[in-house]
Amino acid sequence: MSTQTLSDGVGTVPAMTYAVEAENLVKHFSKGKDAIEAVRGVDLHVAQGEVFGFLGPNGAGKSTTVKMLTTLMSITSGTARVAGVDVAAHPDQARRKIGVALQEAGLDGRQTGRELLVLQARLFDMSPATAADRAKELLELVDLVESADRRIKSYSGGMKRRLDLASALVHQPEVLFLDEPTTGLDPASRLTVWEEVRRINEQGTTVFLTTQYLEEADALCNRLAIIDGGRIVLEGTPQQLKADLRERKGLPDDPTLDEVFLDATGRTRERIAGEVQEVMA
Amino acid sequence: MSTASQSWVLTRRAVREALRTPEALLPTLFIPLFFLIVNTGQAAKIFPTGNTPFLRGQGYAAFQLPSSLLLAASFGSAALFLVEDIEGGYFDKLRATPASRTALVLGRLGAEAMKCAAITLCLILVALPLGIHIASGPIGLLLLVLMTAGWAVVYVGFMQCIALKTRSAAATNSGGLVFFPLLFLTPSFVPRNLLAPAMEKAATVNPVTYIMEALRSLILHDLQTAPILRGFAVIAVSAVLMIALNVRLIRSYD
């Protein structure tokens, strides 16, 4: 883990241990003669053991940021460290410390659930026997034992998502990145994923969660940041952010997180329709 | 885990994938067999065994077999599976592991080589009743299988470059059209010295010609060092180039 130090006049003392640190992270895509600025200088500091929510409307730069942090995309400028490792300088080292479940459950439908987990474990240097044991353990954990030897293409959306989560946990990562893990799931499956996220976090794994569901962020996250137009526009605990808005607007009660979101992104409910949804799980 | 072990793990996965998709496997066997039978049927009377020195006592099917083997090795279906992995997000899952980028390439190419070796053996077995025998013997048969599998690696490597660059099944399929000039601007129906001058020049600059001539020498002659070495040299250089390009594309993949 990366530790930021502060001078106390005599020496340096550890101030905060960060699981994810990004400084002025920028990503440009070139399209013909034009450059698209997807991420425009993002700073992030996620403490070890946190569930950190990363919110934003479609196209705000959430997934691009996650892909840069997880070594899946090059960084145009700026630096990113995950579990203390510079992801651009030492991508392989970083990959050993992070688990990734991206927006679409990235699975191979022709394999069985067990085969997929064993393969994943083997690629993280486990022996065949250890990989088989780890796969069994994870299948039990995500309640897929009965379907373990069925081809993944026959799984439901919720089962695929749980398997994807299990495959991200194969090597017991220090930081788990979940990119919209509940998008498209029914309420029951969504609750199951929430329980899993809580349980994983209780075991000490830092969770970096992107979501469009504000209720999800409210329920799961210790702290969150809102990104819009490639920039972080608001950061804090859900309670802090609500209290700040109540104070600033002189509201009688705490606003909801979606009101905080709308205020931060300058959007109206009409404009936001279809971009961010509130769900009642 | 070494790159070789990682490649093997990924090869096994790609072999499973191929076996579980027989609909992609069967055309690879039947279309080359169809061309072998049709081309032989159409030209066998023009090139009778007794009066055609370049057949060296075998039927015209023996002369045609290399074209069918190269056709079987040029389907590139593994590249379409790669596009599926890319579109479905599984490729990102693999990229997020610490597996060597070379292993990510070699895994699929290894499976393609194994698949092509099996198909080559099947085609030869099926072709035996057409009067074909491998004049270079068991070692020649082994070299024949290795060379055809080597070409499959090169061709799929090329198709994977298109897949990695475009991430599109349509574009990857279209890229496969390069197969036509590569396979047909060769001495596929008669030896090179019997081609029309322009065609002979085109065949001479086409590297596939040397693979076809090497395969043909293994079927029609005893072991002849020069054409065999030329064939393997073309495959070795092209394979190294394709693997290097694939690895480079994966490393710079955004």
In this structure, what DSSP letter does residue A268 have? -
Q: At residue A277, does pLDDT exceed 70?
A: no
Inspect the interface and report whether the beta carbons of B9 and A119 lie closer than 8 Å.
Answer: yes
Nearest-by-CA chain A residue for B18: A110
pLDDT of residue A15: 53
Q: For A70-94, what is the HEC assignment?
A: CCCCCCCEEEEEECCEECCCCHHHH
Predicted pLDDT of residue A270: 53
Query: A105-163 pLDDT, tens per residue?
Result: 789 999 999 999 999 999 999 999 999 999 999 999 888 999 999 999 999 988 998 99
**Cα–Cα distance for residue pair B41/B167, rounded to 1 Å:** 41
Instruction: Considering only the beta carbons, identify the residue of A74, A96, A106 that sits closest to B254.
Output: A74
Mean pLDDT (chain A, rounded): 87
pTM of the predicted model, to two decimals? 0.87
SS3 content of chain B, % helix, strand, coil (to 5): 80, 0, 20
Write b or e for each residue in B82-93: b if 16 or more Cβ atoms lie within 10 A of its Cβ, otherwise e. Answer: bbbbbebbbbbb
- Kindly identify which residue of chain B lies nearest to residue A116, measuring between CA atoms: B13
Among A98-107, B125-134, B218-227, the range with the most confident prediction by mean pLDDT is B218-227
A251 SS3 class: coil
Sorting pLDDT into bands at 50, 70 and 90, what band is A268?
low
Q: Which of A223-232, A272-281, B143-152 has the lowest mean pLDDT?
A: A272-281
Can you tell me the distance from the alpha carbon of A218 to that of A223, in angstroms, rounded to the nearest whole number?
Answer: 9
pLDDT of residue B31: 93
- Whether residue B1 lies within 8 A of chain A, CB to CB, comes out as yes
Quick one: average pLDDT of B21-30?
89
Give the per-residue pLDDT at A35.
83
Contact residues, chain A to chain B, C-beta under 8 Å: 29, 70-74, 92-93, 95-96, 98, 100, 102-111, 115, 119-120, 122-125, 151, 167
Pick the range with the lowest mean pLDDT from A38-52, B25-39, B171-185, B220-234: B171-185
pLDDT tens-digit series, residues B72-96? 999 888 999 999 999 999 999 999 9
Q: Is the confidence at residue A42, as pLDDT, over 90?
A: yes
Contact A105 B89 (CB under 8 A): yes
| Average pLDDT score, chain B | 93
Q: Give pLDDT tens digits for A44-86.
A: 999 999 999 999 988 899 999 999 999 999 999 999 999 999 9
Average of per-residue pLDDT across B30-42? 92
Question: For A3-10, what is the mean pLDDT?
Answer: 44
At residue A13, the 3 state secondary structure works out as strand
d(CA B148, CA A1): 51
Q: How large is the ipTM? A: 0.88
> A202 is written with which tokens?
């209780």
Bridge partners (DSSP) of residue A207 are A51, A176
**Band (A269; pLDDT cuts 50, 70, 90):** low
**Per-residue confidence band for B148, with pLDDT thresholds at 50, 70 and 90:** very high
- Which chain B residues are Cβ-neighbours of A71 within 8 angstroms? 95-96
